[in-house]
A and B are shown apart, each in its own frame.
Chain A
């Protein structure tokens, strides 16, 4: 089991720090326990969050995003683009309870020494979980600030030992229209696929996330494991990953297939390159607070590479970003 969580109905807060669990910590990568306070919050705050909420133990804090004010948990779990559960922004929160994130297997294939099927637990187990607060800029000109829990993708990639021919990494989301009822519609060409160039994939910013706010990843945010590439538009950060493959050629990606002139393979956040149908210069920050305050909140200027230019500038040194948008 990847994430040992305790269901609300099963645990009292007094059991959380039991000695047994403490000792067990060495045997599974991270212990997780329910947070008493959160479980006591009135139901109205999390009406659509069906899965039990559980907190990871032993998450390393990092300086990423210390100065940012994160979007509330409530905000980031009730406003999602996850077409596998419907095309509306609130559909995932309503429908994602059908996803079964556990147990979860990831199939690794392609140009690497170690390939095969891996249990997600085993993949994550040897690594130290980190919290990183990243800005997330959606291609639709809204943004959030999200405290992810995860591990750098590079650490995982190293373990598969990709060979020198592997120039790209391709990812795939689960296909199962029972678990993902939105897949009964042909709104997109399933499975959802994404890809990164190898140097992007092993950039230290790129995260394989398993949670938010110190908790197990909510289903509607891409449980149990998703990519987070903070300098790219949100759709690059593929959710509920079941396949990772190391390939030689640039893999085809879902939104690029859908509208090649609107969504490039790179899709780096860039205020100077408009989406054909709207400007990318500014963004609406989703704080979680709705109503009038959200309606009259000033927009903020979108930053080049979503503000991560320093960390990723080398990746695109000699590239025409207008051409490779």
Chain B
């Protein structure tokens, strides 16, 4: 489907596309500041926290969807883009955490420690973040080589518990109206289902 030949161009497109949410948020803040619009509401700290968290989850889910989509379109070429999407997920998680510590807590590390210890949804979010670090750190080609494909794959299967932790973090944050976290959860279940199904199918067939 997508030829290797165009990879460079498409990679640039994926890169730029992944920056759109960030650019939009930056523009919204700029516009609110300069033109007095209300794109980020009267409480932009809260809004930014939520938006960045949302995009972090969306990118994790996107990175998980790459393999199923590759299957669907019968194009292993798509896998070439997965690393970038995954790293952007990490990028948005980092921004989400930064906005929470910097803007929401205004760098009160005491409050941050209290939050981690006392508040389950923060604890869970932080665990998810910590688990994500080794995945981001081992995304280079040399890391894959050093690990060996099988072990690397095992490590990166961590993304499934991570995305579940992220969704749980979202669920527990919500006061009422669970529509959105529920939506994410259903998509994740479908992706998990696909993974088990494809493993099963693989072990039952001779090729691959």
Contact = CB atoms under 8 A, between A and B. Distances in A.
Contacts of A258: 175-176
Nearest to A47: B38
Interface stretch (A18-26, A122-130, A149-157, A277-285): A277-285
B45 A295 contact: yes
Contacts of B115: 278-279
Contact of A277 (B40, B119, B176): B119
A188 B174 CA distance: 12
A251 interface: no
A298 B106 contact: yes
Nearest to B178: A187
Contacts of B34: 291
A191 B8 CA distance: 57
Interface residues of B, number: 33
B111 interface: yes
Interface stretch (A60-68, A75-83, A107-115, A240-248): A75-83
B114 interface: yes
B41 interface: yes
Contacts of A256: none
A294 B36 CA distance: 12
A298 B106 CA distance: 8
A298 B38 CA distance: 20
A142 interface: yes
A258 B177 CA distance: 11
A294 B47 CA distance: 11
Contact of A293 (B33, B41, B48, B106): B33
B119 A276 contact: yes
A45 B43 CA distance: 17
Interface of A: 71, 74-75, 78-79, 83, 87, 89-90, 140, 142, 185, 187-188, 258-259, 274, 276-279, 281, 284, 286-296, 298-299
